[in-house]
Amino acid sequence: MRRRVFRRSAASSAGGLSSASLAPMVDMMTILVIAVLRTWSTDAPAELPEEGLRLPLSSQEAPVNKGIVVDVGVDGLYVEGWRAGSATYWSDSDEVLIGEVYEALQLLGGDRITVRAHESAPWSLVGKVMFTAKQAGYPNVELVAVSRASL
C-alpha cells in the first residue's frame, strides 16, 4: 500500500468533541441560565401553615417586604404560623375585629403585615384581617400573590 505524504491532522479525526458540536450546547446552557435567573426567585420557598393553601396569581413583580405574616387559610387564621382562629367562624361572624389576631399582633409589635390569603378566601374575611391589623397599629399592609413569571 502506498503511504500518504500529507496526513490529516489528529484533531479533526478525534470525532465527537469538535468546537462545532459544543457551540449549540453552550447556547442552550446560556439560554437556560437566563431563563432560570429571570423566572426563579432567590427567596426561600414560602412555608404555608396549611396543606391546601394556594396563593392567588398576579401579573405584578414587586418584591415582598418583610413583615408579620398573617395567613388566611381554608381552615384557619394564622399569625406567624400559629393558629389564631377559625376561618369559617370568622367568615360567618358579624364581628369585624378578630380578637385573637388583634392580641397576637399587639404582642408581636411592628408596623407592617404581610397577608397570605387562600385564593378562594372571601374578601370579607381578608377585609376583617386588614381592619384588625389597622386597629392593632399596622398601617402597612401587603397582600402576597404568586407572580405569573413563576415557572
Dihedral over Cα of 15, 19, 23, 26: its sign:
positive
Could you say which of 42, 51, 52, 107 contacts other proteins (CB under 8 A)? 42
Q: Cβ distance 79 to 105 under 8 Å? A: yes
70 binds other proteins (CB under 8 A): no
Could you say which of 2, 4, 15, 37 contacts other proteins (CB under 8 A)? 37
10 binds other proteins (CB under 8 A): no
Distances (CA, A) of 88 to 91, 93, 100: 5, 8, 15
CA distance 55 to 144: 7
- Closer to other proteins by CB, 96 or 108: give it: 96
Phi, psi of 125 (to 5 degrees): -70, -45
Binding residues for other proteins (CB under 8 A): 5, 9, 11, 17-19, 22-23, 25-26, 29-30, 32-33, 36-37, 39-46, 55-65, 72, 96, 114, 117-124, 126-128, 130-131, 133-135, 137-147, 149-151
